[in-house]
Amino acid sequence: TAAAALENGNVTDINKPTDTPEGWKIPLSTIPMKNHAQGCANASLNRALEISCNSVFAKLGDEIGVEKMNEMAEKFGFNAEQFVPVRSAASVFDKKAERGGNAQAAIGQFNTATTPLQMAMVTAAIANDGKLMKPYMIDELRAPNLDVIKKNEPEEMSRPVSPENAQLLQQMMENVVSEGTGGRADLKMDGVKVGGKTGTAQHGEKNSKRPYAWFISYAKTAEGSPVAVAVIVEDASGVSREDISGGGLAAPIARDVMKAVLKGQG
Q: What are the counts of helices (DSSP H) followed by strands (DSSP E) for the chain?
A: 8, 9
In angstroms, what CA-CA distances link 54 with 30, 32, 142, 240, 263? 16, 10, 49, 23, 36
CATH of residue 218: 3.40.710.10
β-bridge mates for residue 102, sequence order: none
In angstroms, what CA-CA distances link 1 with 60, 164, 231? 7, 16, 20
pLDDT, one tens digit per residue, over 147-168 is: 999 999 999 999 999 999 999 9
pLDDT value, residue 244 = 78
If you write DSSP's letter for every residue of 54-85 in order, what string do you get?
HHHHHHHHHHH-HHHHHHHHHHTTTTS-EESS
Q: Considering the domain boundaries, does residue 61 fall inside one?
A: yes
Q: Which helix (H) or strand (E) is 108 found in, with range?
A: none
Q: Considering the domain boundaries, does residue 201 fall inside one?
A: yes
Q: 193 with 222, same domain?
A: yes
Q: 5 with 100, same domain?
A: yes
Domain limits at 167? Answer: 119-132+161-266
pTM of the predicted model as reported, rounded to 2 decimal places: 0.93
pLDDT, one tens digit per residue, over 30-79 is: 889 989 899 999 999 999 999 999 999 999 999 999 999 999 999 999 99
Q: 123 with 3, same domain?
A: no
pLDDT value, residue 203 = 79
pLDDT value, residue 264 = 85
Q: Which ranges of the chain have pLDDT less than 70?
A: 266
Q: 55 with 40, same domain?
A: yes
Q: 179 with 56, same domain?
A: no
pLDDT value, residue 266 = 54
Q: 45 with 125, same domain?
A: no
Q: 17 with 98, same domain?
A: yes
Q: 94 with 200, same domain?
A: no
Amino acid at 100: G
Q: 257 with 184, same domain?
A: yes
3-state secondary structure of 5: helix
Whole-angstrom distance, CA of residue 76 vs CA of residue 132: 7
| Domain count of the fold of the chain | 2
**What backbone phi and psi angles, to 5 degrees, belong to 227?**
-150, 130
Is the omega angle on the peptide bond into residue 85 within 30 degrees of 0, that is, cis?
A: yes
Q: 239 with 260, same domain?
A: yes
